[in-house]
Structure 1
């Protein structure tokens, strides 16, 4: 009845079609704005609409795997004090990089097949600013080095010896290149067979990716890893590749990935998720579509695990993986918890 009266008014005043369209949009918007939230508008029960059941949190920080809990605690201490979201995602993952019991991130991680720990990291802001480092050695906090690449060079990506030289130039100390006791024992055991084979949901690919949004809606993300254990010397996964392991667009949202990097790279996973959100998908729908495409492209699905984590500019989040076992840490003003993600295979 309401829309019928609108068309009556338009007809009586001989308003053109384009003007009609704008008039109808404004009229409907005004009706929703004037109506009480708990009531009805033009026969629509607002209580039953899907948007009433969605959870939106700003500020908020999300990160992959259970080690994300401690990382989130640090990040939240910055966000909850109205700090910068870029500082939050950097300082958060530095906790994981410093953890001596962490075997897939930082200098205490498991080595490549030559017995050397090589590190990858990336960081990105919602305005498109980004920095990455890969195949870098002896740097305790590659995420900080990635940020320095973003802020102090005309480049996005530095690798290997060049990245290490830049770190020295910026006053970052070089750590001793000695395997941790755990990594040394694991490496010596591996050398007996020297058989490289990724293990589903086990420490050799548990990257930490972190995405966050502050109270004003600013977005940022970070990703850091020591890569898969016993990889070929020089191998680089998805974590430092902008658009694969991490992507942030302030107008849309952010996404990060974990798992077997080669499979994430094949579909430009993080960029794909953000673009799907740009087209109207929810973060959950976008993560599920990305997994669907990864499954279709996988070269070794039986031995592949990928987990995606996404957040849109409204503070809505989603997560999905190929196989059960992927979880993510969430911290906002209401709670801090570890969440098991749904998966393609049950």
Structure 2
């Protein structure tokens, strides 16, 4: 009987027919361990890390740090895929998703919440002040208001105009790495701010926040608020977050998979690569037309990432300062436009 490790190795070997430019890109050399440290997805991770470092750099906890970093993305950033500037669904409704997880296993999340500026903080309230893990829709909004959050219309004029323009064709077509090129009001696409931190005590936490896929069916929920899909943290092992088309993370319990691979001894980069290989093995044709990215950090503070397609970047900050953006290795090595 084939072992699980053998299955993964076979899956990776089977990618040969799918490589587009001479083979699998080399795994990045592991980033040396350092504590405290914070890492975030995409270009806007620089701003999120800077906000989180105001907590970590003063000896604060990882959970507070990731919440502060995610809150920065939700309110200070104006991006059509994250927070208050997000593009709406096909009915013109802006819904937000978020999760937050502590290294001790506590977790809270909200999905499809409307008119609440900081869903990540509502998610923390769910974690700390309710017996539940996930609240959705009107129930999540009601919970937020009952706990002191202000209800405020968030849909911007630019996002509304983009929706009106989209309705002329009503074409739903995720675009690989579009998040690196969008301006407020642009028509597509998707993304997530995923943020992972380890503090001076070695305690880990993570958070994930997004406005989801532009023009999605009303009620659609992606991976960001789903424990084990868009985010997973185990303080004894490490943490992982995901970005890209959330349906693929949901199909593979992807962030949980990355952490479990680290538990088996993989480095963060190796774990992310094997998780990407799983995505390709299951849906090889679809993998050519969508982006999936993983970012991970182990309990020693080592960081790694991997993506389906070239173009995924992440940001890191520690006591040495902000490290700018790092290009992730990828399976497909020609960047899709």
Q: TM-score range by the shorter chain?
A: 0.7 to 0.9
CA deviation after TM superposition for structure 1 residue 108, in Å = 1.6
Distance in 1 between residues matched to 2:83 and 2:55, nearest whole Å: 22
CA deviation after TM superposition for structure 1 residue 107, in Å = 2.3
> Are residues 1:184 and 2:164 paired?
no
- Paired residue for 2:308? 322
> Are residues 1:257 and 2:242 paired?
yes
Q: Give matches, 1:83-232, under 5 Å.
A: 83-99=60-76, 101-177=78-154, 179-203=155-179, 204-232=189-217
> Are residues 1:63 and 2:40 paired?
yes
TM-score (norm 1): 0.83
- Paired residue for 1:341? 328
CA deviation after TM superposition for structure 1 residue 181, in Å = 2.4
Q: Runs of at least 4 residues of structure 1 off by over 6 A?
A: none
* 1:136-190 residue CA offsets vs partner (Å, 9 max, x unmatched): 100100000000000000000000010000011001000125x312212211110
Structure 1 residues 248 and 96, CA gap change in structure 2 (3 angstroms): same
Task: Determine which structure has greater relative contact order: mean sequence separation of CA pairs < 8 Å that are 6+ residues apart, divided by chain length.
Answer: 2
* 1:218-266 residue CA offsets vs partner (Å, 9 max, x unmatched): 0000000000100000000000000000000010000000000001111
Contact 2:31/2:304 (<8 A) preserved: no
CA deviation after TM superposition for structure 1 residue 335, in Å = 3.1
Contact 1:99/1:108 (<8 A) preserved: no
CA deviation after TM superposition for structure 1 residue 79, in Å = 0.2
CA deviation after TM superposition for structure 1 residue 53, in Å = 7.8
Structure 1 residues 342 and 54, CA gap change in structure 2 (3 angstroms): closer
CA deviation after TM superposition for structure 1 residue 54, in Å = 5.6
**Unaligned 5+ runs, structure 2:** 1-28, 180-188
Distance in 2 between residues matched to 1:53 and 1:263, nearest whole Å: 26
CA deviation after TM superposition for structure 1 residue 93, in Å = 1.1
- Paired residue for 1:3? none
Distance in 1 between residues matched to 2:151 and 2:125, nearest whole Å: 16
The alignment partner of 1:205 has SS state of coil
Contact 1:266/1:297 (<8 A) preserved: no
- Paired residue for 1:276? 261
* 1:13-55 residue CA offsets vs partner (Å, 9 max, x unmatched): xxxxxxxxxxxxxxxxxxxxxxxxxxxxxxxxxxxxxxx9861
The alignment partner of 2:266 has SS state of coil
The alignment partner of 1:230 has SS state of coil
Alignment match of 1:311 (pick from 270, 283, 297): 297
Q: Give matches, 1:69-84, under 5 Å.
A: 69-84=46-61
The alignment partner of 1:140 has SS state of coil
Alignment match of 1:285 (pick from 267, 270, 274): 270
RMSD: 1.3
The alignment partner of 1:113 has SS state of coil
TM-score (norm 2): 0.85
> Are residues 1:240 and 2:217 paired?
no
Distance in 1 between residues matched to 2:201 and 2:235, nearest whole Å: 11
CA deviation after TM superposition for structure 1 residue 100, in Å = 5.4
